[in-house]
Amino acid sequence: MTREEIVASINRVFEESFEIEPERLVPEANIFLDLELDSLDTVDLVVAIQKRFGVSIRDDERVRAIRTLNDVYAFIENIQKEQGA
Amino acid sequence: MKRGIAILYAFVFYPLLAAYTLAAVLVLTTVGAAGSLFVSRRENMRRFRRMIAWYGYGIVRGLARPVIRVVYESPARPPQTAKIFVSNHVASSDPFLVSLLPEATVQVVNLWPFKLPVWGLYARWAGYLNVRAMTPEAFHEAGARLLAEGASIVAFPEGTRAGDRPMGPFHSAVFRLALATRTPLVPMCITGNARSPARGSLLLEPATVRVRCLPELAWETFRDMSPFQLKTHVHRLIQQEVNRMRLPT
């Protein structure tokens, strides 16, 4: 998947699972402060991303460092590169 | 002017509050200790919640009355079913305003009420839920048990007082609980007490405080929502009502 496809796919997760308006989905948006997810919501987010991308990230320590949408995009991009390597 | 009245009334209010609280502590401790010998734990917790509500009611409708006018509005609700009340959190006086509800409730609280001398013990006796000290699973289990016993729960899902600032985002734990246990939600809106008392102050500035419960949301109306969607929906309902309540009448 290209970066653009990853961005579009992750944004769709936020739109469909959390009903967040597309105009709020900017790369620098903080998922806690700007998109108003809490720690329990991030568990739902991880499940939705796993389902969408067919990856297992639940126990990945890097998930804890995610703060912005851009972090999510970069994280999934890296996961895909690692799996393709 | 308001501040002057608040300073003057502090000299009356706090000595009265101290005496009132001392009397309440004596009664609560006696009844709590005796109750633990003669009635079931569940019944003792229920009585304790009722007495804590009376204590709060005495402050809201009695001691604070000369400076704080409280207007409570609520539509008729289906009686005798456990509910989860969800409120915006304005000031440290909010937990006292909960005493206006007809139901004696279990409050979802942060760590600090449990650390208060004497009152921390009462919070435990009343079955209050210390959300910061519990895992999500433990919170869910304890909440579900209380609701199954018929106890209603009150939560301030912002987690911290907003004061004069806009409402903060909601945490989702109580909304997950409502969805999983098929419990109705009652949005509750509080305005007017941002400076009664203000954060970091003990002064009660004269104010009209309004507490308005919105119509109950039956589980069937939100069963298909995700927890995030539900918390966002309730946040919007409360925010819209708070905005209306703040309009000059």
Rounded Cα–Cα distance for residues B44 and B50 (Å): 10
Provide CB contacts within 8 A for B144, sequence distance 6+: B177, B180, B181
Using a CB-CB cut-off of 8 Å, the residues of chain B touching A18 are 226, 228-229, 232
pLDDT, tens digit, for every residue of B172-212?
999 999 999 999 999 999 999 988 888 888 888 889 999 99
Q: B77 is written with which tokens?
A: 């609700």
**pLDDT at position B44:** 84
Using a CB-CB cut-off of 8 Å, the residues of chain B touching A30 are none
pTM: 0.87
Q: Which of B24, B33, B26 is nearest to B62 (CA)?
A: B24
CB contact under 8 A, B171 and A38: yes
Q: Is A75 a domain residue? A: yes
Indicate the number of domains in chain A: 1
Q: Is A85 a domain residue? A: no
Q: Mean pLDDT, to the nearest integer, of B85-113?
A: 90
Taking the domains of chain B in order of start, what are their residue ranges?
2-246
Rounded Cα–Cα distance for residues A29 and A32 (Å): 9
User: For B230, which residue in chain A has the nearest alpha carbon?
Assistant: A18
Q: Is A30 a domain residue? A: yes
Using a CB-CB cut-off of 8 Å, the residues of chain A touching B173 are 40
Rounded Cα–Cα distance for residues B18 and B6 (Å): 17
A70 reaches B (C-beta below 8 A): no
A18 reaches B (C-beta below 8 A): yes
> Which residues of B sit within 8 Å Cβ distance of A?
136, 169-173, 176, 226-229, 232
Q: How confident is the model at residue A85 (pLDDT cuts 50, 70, 90)?
A: low
Distance (Å) from the C-alpha of residue B246 to the closest C-alpha of chain A? 24
CB contact under 8 A, B227 and A41: yes
CB contact under 8 A, B232 and A36: yes
Q: Which residue segment(s) compose the domain that A52 sits in? A: 3-80
pLDDT at B111 over 80: no
B197 preceded by cis ω (within 30°)? yes
**pLDDT at position B7:** 82
Q: Residue A19 maps to which CATH number?
A: 1.10.1200.10
- Provide the b/e sequence for B185-221 (b: ≥16 CB within 10 Å): bbbbbbbbbbbbbbeeeebbbbbebbbbbbebbeeee
Q: At what angle do helices B227-246 and B173-181 cross, to 10 degrees?
A: 110
CB contact under 8 A, A37 and B176: no
Domain B2-246, CATH class in plain words: alpha beta
**pLDDT at position B220:** 96
Give the nearest partner residue to B232 out of A19, A40, A44, using CB atoms.
Answer: A19
Residue B150 gets the label, from left (phi > 0), alpha (psi -120 to 50) or beta, of left
pLDDT, tens digit, for every residue of B50-78?
889 999 999 999 999 999 999 999 887 76
